[in-house]
Amino acid sequence: MTTTASDLTFRLEQKRNVQADFPGPKSVALTERRKSVVAAGVASSVPVYVADADGGIIHDVDGNSFIDLGSGIAVTSVGASDPAVVGAVKEAVEHFTHTCFMVTPYEGYVAVAEQLNRLTPGNHEKRTVLFNSGAEAVENAIKVARLATGRDAVVAFDHAYHGRTNLTMALTAKAMPYKTNFGPFAPEVYRMPMSYPYREENPAITGAEAAKRAITMIEKQIGGDQVAAIIIEPIQGEGGFIVPAEGFLPALAAWAKEKGIVFIADEVQSGFCRTGEWFAVNHEGVVPDILTMAKGIAGGMPLSAITGRADLLDAVHPGGLGGTYGGNPVACAACAGFDRVHGGVRPERPCPPHRIHRHGAPARTAGRTGRRRHRRDR
């Protein structure tokens, strides 16, 4: 039986209601408290403080309610407090909050790995490692690629965003607010031109031609046999919502395979139905060697992952991957709750639109219409 949007129930009324005083007095008071204790480098987009949230609505401490178009930066795709996620988290907390999988393992971590191996593109044998944030997933994907290939160079692209750690800042193509005055950055990172149909000097350039342009520069400046990894967001989300021309990603992936380069799809933001498919690479049938995930993976709990070819991830020595909190049992339970929201995640099942849209921000499509609609800067 298919669930429709009309079948959903919420704790909070799904309605916007903003009072005359905005921000309200309680939010103003909290802002003053914040100034004396929270570092100025941490900025917030909205001058209100959350008291409750459900579905696609946020209530602030002054009784205002807002449509949650931010969704925690592409995180709460199934709503702010979906009952399946909340119930799974409550049950997990009642048993244990932490043991560290590297010390005393637990089934939840294994179950999430099984789920991601099944869901991600490709029928090859896969392995998964769990972490906490998208940047941590990206860092570890690069570690795996360098170890497995014995090479150092990493190729990223114009307009890219991959995180705020030192290596991921090096991969990121935006100076303010992410990189300015935070250097020096990790070496052996090279930037190539992205396929950007809206702003190409030659608007007639095809995806395959744009890929050839990047490949020619890689061969000239680095040498294909020196490159450990190519990392790319299949749909970029920070330098503008940039959908590359059709054929760009498949051509890059095919060349990477020919040269023994690890092709990493950074799906931290675009994954889990943000583009109308489980993963953005699915639109063109691209199967990456490693795929990075976070944000929408666990209904708002901090969890990230890399899933990739078994031969690559198993090449790493025992103890070479992991972290104290990586794959925390409560976050893993939230991921299992996310699975139940969708009635059991399967790669052959389409993304359920009533769930993807319930948080208030419709999923971006990357079909032919979407390619025309989203070629713009934010």
Q: The tokens 């807002």 sit on which residue?
A: 66
Evaluate whether 213 touches 196 at the Cβ level (below 8 Å): no
240: pLDDT confidence band, cut at 50, 70 and 90?
Answer: confident
Q: What is the 3-state secondary structure (H, E, C) of 201-213?
A: CCCCCCHHHHHHH
State the helix-helix crossing angle for 329-341 and 107-119, rounded to 10 degrees.
Answer: 40
| Strands of 65-67's sheet in order across | 50-54, 57-60, 65-67
359: pLDDT confidence band, cut at 50, 70 and 90?
Answer: very low
| Residue range(s) occupied by CATH 3.40.640.10 in the chain | 84-373
pLDDT digits (tens, 9 = 90+) for 110-168: 999 999 999 999 999 999 999 999 999 999 999 999 999 999 999 999 999 999 999 99
Evaluate whether 353 touches 225 at the Cβ level (below 8 Å): no
19: pLDDT confidence band, cut at 50, 70 and 90?
Answer: confident
349: pLDDT confidence band, cut at 50, 70 and 90?
Answer: low
pLDDT cut 90: percent of the chain above it: 79
Mean pLDDT of the chain: 89
Question: Sign of the CA dihedral 179, 183, 186, 192?
Answer: positive
- How buried is 176 (Cβ within 10 angstroms: 0-12 exposed, 13-18 middle, 19+ buried)? exposed
320: pLDDT confidence band, cut at 50, 70 and 90?
Answer: very high
Evaluate whether 262 touches 144 at the Cβ level (below 8 Å): yes
What is residue 95's DSSP assignment? H
pLDDT digits (tens, 9 = 90+) for 93-123: 999 999 999 999 999 999 999 999 999 999 9
Q: Could you tell me which CATH number the domain at 84-373 has?
A: 3.40.640.10
Q: Rounded mean pLDDT of 14-39?
A: 94
pLDDT higher than threshold 60 for residue 2? no
The pLDDT value recorded for residue 126 is 98
pLDDT higher than threshold 80 for residue 341? no
